[in-house]
Amino acid sequence: MKRSSVIVSEGLPFILIAGVLALLFAFLCSTVPAIFFFVVMLFVTWFFRNPERQAPDENAYAVSPADGKVIKIEEVSIAEPVRGKFKKMSIFMNVFNVHVNRIPCSGVIKMIRYKKGRFFSANLDKASSLNEQNAVLIETDRGKQIMTVQIAGLIARRIVCWISEGMRVGRGERFGLIRFGSRLDVYLPTEARILVKVGDKVRAGETPIGDLL
């Protein structure tokens, strides 16, 4: 699956609207609004950037699925969308982070579950259970289950997922994005060795977050 354009296509309508408004106000000699929408166009273009990334050589590592800051690490038991015990890591993405999400480890997509919800600030604990979200369950060739959950935030109200159930995916491959500030939760097997700590900055597709052993 190729999603290697410099700017993701989902951002083009926003860029176009801001650019048209900037040109319109410039034509009407309204300098301040023209400058404002030109700056908005530049910011939105930068927000939807889609840089290349290189995953580490060690295949046993799960890499971060998102750019951002690790805000919580805990062991949890969940009943849905899959039942079991996991080590859960929450990564908060602010509006300045790259928002393209990447596959943490190679395997097969066993399940995708979208759930409507609220739009609390993504850095709050209740966002994990109450906000709009999209869960992606991956099974590795060794039978380990890893789940990523895209969670919409206070501003973000549109989750994009480019993959489908049954697909084979590679570690570091792009699989979706969340627009304008959000959060991503990662569920690793309980035996995984966590390689980051709360407060660490991580990069999607590059930063090792867990050794699957």
The pLDDT of residue 115: 86
DSSP line for 147-194: EEEEEE-SS---EEE---TT-EE-TT-EEEEESSSEEEEEEEETTPEE
Domain count, the chain: 2
Pull the structure tokens for residue 141: 């060739």
One domain for residues 14 and 83? no
The pLDDT of residue 175: 95
One domain for residues 91 and 126? yes
CATH of the domain at 175: 2.70.70.10
The pLDDT of residue 150: 93
Candidate list 64, 90, 128, 182, residue with the active-site label: 182
One domain for residues 161 and 105? yes
Active site residue 30: no
pLDDT digits (tens, 9 = 90+) for 151-167: 886 655 578 899 999 99
Indicate the pTM of the whole model. Answer: 0.88
Domain that holds residue 32: 9-47
Is 54 a member of any domain?
no
Question: What are the residue ranges in the chain where pLDDT is below 50?
Answer: none
